[in-house]
Structure 1
C-alpha cells in the first residue's frame, strides 16, 4: 500500500475548527461582527459572478472578498443608498446585485458603486410604481429576474429590459394579482415552481404567461427547492413536503428533527443529500439512499455551529456551504479532505499495483513513479491516468528484472537502476523496456557472494559506481569516500581500495 501526500488546505476564514457531520469530517469557519460583518443576524447569502460573497443582515448588507468587508446601509436622504436595512434575499447578474428587502428592491451597480430603486407595471392601475413593498425572494434564470413579493404576487424582468411586470395567478379559474409568493425554484427542465401562501404549490405556464395551481393539500409553507430527482420540496408548517413532479405523488415528513420552522433548503448532489435549515434545531441532513435524517447543530458535536437559528444556506461552486444564522453570524462548512491518497492493490481489476508491500520509490518524471515491492517486482505508476506497468522476474527471460524484491530505485543519466535482494543490480532501458543485469566481482573475478555467502544489495548510488552498500546477515560494504570502500563483518572493519573492485556486466 502506498500513501501519496497531496498538500491542500481549505480556504481560511476568520475562525475555524473541525467537526463531524454524520460520519464525515468537516472544517467549520466562522465570520461575525468582530471580523467586519454588518450584523450577526444574517438572513441571506450569495456568491456573485465575480467570486465575492454577499451577506444580507438585519442591519444592511456586507460584501466579502475573503479578507475584508465592505458594508452598505441605508443613508437618510440618500436615494443612491440601500433602500432598507432589513435584507431578505440576494441575487445577481454580471454587473448588478439585486437585493430584496423589507422595503422593496435595491439594485447595486458595480460600475457606479450606487443603488437604485426598481419600478414595476401595476396590472390594476396600469401605472409604473416603485417596488417599495416586502420582497420575499429573488432568483434569476438565464439572466431573467423573478421576484416573489408579499402582496403583489410574482414580478418578472426579462434580460436587458427595464420593464418589470406582474404575473397573474389563476385559482379555480379566477384571476388574482395580490398573492404572497414565499419561495421559488426551477426544476431540471427549466419550469418555475412557487409556493403561494394560502394557495399551495403552483407552477408557471410559460406559454400563457400565468401561474396555475398544481397541489393545494398544504397551504402554509415557506422555502421551496427542486432536486434532480424530479421532486419539489417545501418547508411546510410542522414538517417537510416532498412532491414528485412525474407521478404527482407526495409525502409529508413529520419527523421530530424537522418539527421546527424550516427557513431554507439546499441540495448537495455529490452526496445525494438534502440540507434543511431550521429556526431552532440547526441543520438537518436528509439522506436520499437511507431515507433518514441526521442533526448538525450547536449542541450535537464538540465543534459546532454558532447558532441553531439558521436562516439561509448557500452552496458555492467549490462545494462549500455558507450558513447564515440569526444570532451567530456566518458559518462556512467544507469537507476536511485528507492530504493523503491511498494507492493499493485491487483484486477486482487487472491493471493494479502488484503488491501492498512497498520497499522503494523513485520519481521517473512529473507523471510517473517507480514503486519497488517486496516480492512482486517493480511497477511504473502513471499518476495522471492511474495505470500501472508491472515488471516481474522471469527465469525464462534474461531481460526481465533480476529479482522481485526491489529494495532501492535510483535514476541517473544512464537510466533507472534497481537494487534487489538476491538478484544484484540491473539497469532499465526505457526505450526497449529491458533490464540489463550486473555482477559484482573483485580483481580475481571471484563473486562477493562466493566469498561472503549470499549477498543482498540494500542501497545504490546515483553517481560514480552503482554499488554503495551490499550486505548479508553479517557483512556490510559501504562507500565512505570516492575511492575507499569499507566492509564490516561482525565487529571487524576492513578497508578496501576501490580500484581493486569493479562492476562488470
Structure 2
C-alpha cells in the first residue's frame, strides 16, 4: 500500500510548521482562493458513455495537490473511513489520520472506479472497467469474466439485506454465490448496461439500465418499468429511496423522476440547467441533492430548489458523486476534484486540507 507523506523542504517549510493547526484551519479558505489547484484532463479510455458527454475544458495543474483530478465515487465504511474512487488514480482511502492510495500496484483490478461497497464481513468491494476487486484490508481478490461476470466492464455493486452481492456490468446483471459470479438474466430485448442497484424498505431490488428503464425484483417476479409507465427516461443512472419511502431516479436524458408507490412524477422539468443527472443524495435534514451536467448541484427541500455552482465555490461541471458522511458533511466529486460544503461555500479538498482535518 502506498502512503502519502509530507516532504519538508529546509528553511522555507520549517518556517511554516511553527503555525498551529488552528491557524491553518482559519486561513485555509483564503489559501484555496489564492492557490486553488486547476483541472487536468482525466483518463477516459474505455469510458465510452461519459467521454461522449463531457463538456468541460481541462486546464494546467499541479496535480499533486488534488485527492483526485476526477473523483467518481465517495463512500464511508462502518469504521468511519472515507473512500474516494478516482478516474485514474485508483482508490484514495482516508482513515481520519492519513490518506493512502490503492492502485494496480497493490492489486486493484483496474480503473476508473465505478462503484464502492462494504460487505457485511467488512471487506471492501470496487467495480472497475477490468472486473471486480474485493479488498480484505491486506490484499485483493479480483473477479473477471473468467469468474462468471457477464463482462469485465462493471458499473455498479450492491449487497442486499439478505447478504447477496449484485454487480451491474456492460452486458447485464450478475450475482455472487460466494465463490464466483453468475449471470442473473433480466427479461430484456437486448443486453443492457446496469448502471445502478438499490433496495427499498420492502425488500424490492431496483436495477437501473442504459436504455431499458428500471427492473424491479421482489424476490420472485421481475417487472420492467419505463417511460410508458411514467419514468422520465429509460437510461437510469442513480436510484435513491428517501426517508418517506419515495424512490427517486436520475437519468441521462430525462432529469429526475419520483415514485410514490403508486405513480411516477417527473420533477424539475425546465427548472434545472441540464436533464443529464448522475448523482442523487438525501441529507439528514431530508433535502434531496442532485447533479446537473454543467450546472453544479441542486438542493430540493420539498418546496424550494436551490442551485450551487461556481458562485458558491463548486468548480465542477461534471458532478458524479454527492455524499453526506456520518458527521453531516456533504461531499461532491467529479471532473475537477473533491469538494466539501463548509457552511455555505464549497471548498476544494486537497491532500493538505485532509491533513489539517485531523488537527
Whether the 8 Å CA contact 1:88–1:101 is kept in 2: the answer is yes
Deviation at 1:240, TM superposition (A): 2.7
Secondary structure of the equivalent of 2:216? strand
Higher relative contact order (Cα pairs below 8 Å, separated by 6+ residues): 2
TM-aligned CA distance change 1:177 to 1:214, over 3 Å: closer
Deviation at 1:228, TM superposition (A): 1.8
Counterpart in 1 of 2:296? 240
Q: Structure 2: how far apart are the matches of 1:177 and 1:286?
A: 29
Counterpart in 2 of 1:205? 260
Secondary structure of the equivalent of 2:285? coil
The answer to whether residue 212 in structure 2 is matched with residue 152 in structure 1 is yes
Deviation at 1:200, TM superposition (A): 2.1
Whether the 8 Å CA contact 1:148–1:181 is kept in 2: the answer is yes
TM-aligned CA distance change 1:175 to 1:262, over 3 Å: closer
Within 5 Å, which residues of 2 pair with 1:404-443? none
Counterpart in 2 of 1:402? none
- Normalized per residue, which structure has more helix? 2
- Normalized per residue, which structure has more strand? 1
Q: Structure 2: how far apart are the matches of 1:242 and 1:303?
A: 25
After superposition, what is the alpha-carbon deviation per residue over 1:197-237, rounded to whole angstroms, capped at 9, x for unaligned?
3322211121x2x4221221231221111112221111112
Which runs of 5 or more structure 2 residues have no equivalent in the other structure?
7-20, 29-95
Q: Structure 2: how far apart are the matches of 1:16 and 1:335?
A: 17
After superposition, what is the alpha-carbon deviation per residue over 1:368-397, rounded to whole angstroms, capped at 9, x for unaligned?
xxxxxxxxxxxxxxxxxxxxxxxxxxxxxx
Counterpart in 1 of 2:352? 301
TM-score of the aligned structures, taking structure 1 as reference length: 0.48
Counterpart in 2 of 1:258? 315
Q: Structure 2: how far apart are the matches of 1:224 and 1:302?
A: 26
After superposition, what is the alpha-carbon deviation per residue over 1:18-52, rounded to whole angstroms, capped at 9, x for unaligned?
689x8397411211111111124322111012211
Whether the 8 Å CA contact 1:238–1:254 is kept in 2: the answer is no
After superposition, what is the alpha-carbon deviation per residue over 1:169-198, rounded to whole angstroms, capped at 9, x for unaligned?
46xxx7569711121212222221112333
TM-aligned CA distance change 1:191 to 1:234, over 3 Å: same
TM-aligned CA distance change 1:133 to 1:242, over 3 Å: same
TM-aligned CA distance change 1:129 to 1:238, over 3 Å: closer
Whether the 8 Å CA contact 1:275–1:285 is kept in 2: the answer is yes
Within 5 Å, which residues of 2 pair with 1:169-180? 169=227, 175=230, 179-180=234-235
Deviation at 1:260, TM superposition (A): 3.0
TM-aligned CA distance change 1:36 to 1:185, over 3 Å: same
Whether the 8 Å CA contact 1:169–1:211 is kept in 2: the answer is no
Q: Structure 1: how far apart are the matches of 2:353 and 2:282?
A: 33
Q: Structure 2: how far apart are the matches of 1:232 and 1:196?
A: 15
Whether the 8 Å CA contact 1:153–1:177 is kept in 2: the answer is no
Within 5 Å, which residues of 2 pair with 1:102-501? 102-110=170-178, 113-120=179-186, 128-129=187-188, 132-142=191-201, 143-158=203-218, 161-169=219-227, 175=230, 179-206=234-261, 208=262, 210-216=263-269, 217-218=271-272, 219-247=275-303, 249-255=304-310, 257-270=314-327, 272-279=328-335, 281-287=336-342, 290-297=343-350, 301=352, 336=358
Secondary structure of the equivalent of 2:105? helix
Q: Structure 1: how far apart are the matches of 2:282 and 2:353?
A: 33
TM-score of the aligned structures, taking structure 2 as reference length: 0.67
After superposition, what is the alpha-carbon deviation per residue over 1:130-150, rounded to whole angstroms, capped at 9, x for unaligned?
872111111223443111111
Counterpart in 1 of 2:32? none
Deviation at 1:302, TM superposition (A): 8.7
Q: Structure 2: how far apart are the matches of 1:99 and 1:229?
A: 31
TM-aligned CA distance change 1:176 to 1:278, over 3 Å: closer
TM-aligned CA distance change 1:61 to 1:303, over 3 Å: same
May I ask how many residue pairs the two structures share in their alignment?
Answer: 267
Which runs of 5 or more structure 1 residues have no equivalent in the other structure?
1-13, 121-127, 305-333, 338-505
Q: Structure 2: how far apart are the matches of 1:100 and 1:196?
A: 16
Q: Structure 2: how far apart are the matches of 1:119 and 1:46?
A: 22
Q: For the pair shown, which has the larger CA radius of gyration, 1 or 2?
A: 1
TM-aligned CA distance change 1:253 to 1:85, over 3 Å: same
Q: Structure 2: how far apart are the matches of 1:188 and 1:176?
A: 20
TM-aligned CA distance change 1:195 to 1:41, over 3 Å: closer
Deviation at 1:303, TM superposition (A): 8.3
Q: Structure 2: how far apart are the matches of 1:108 and 1:276?
A: 30
Secondary structure of the equivalent of 1:301? helix
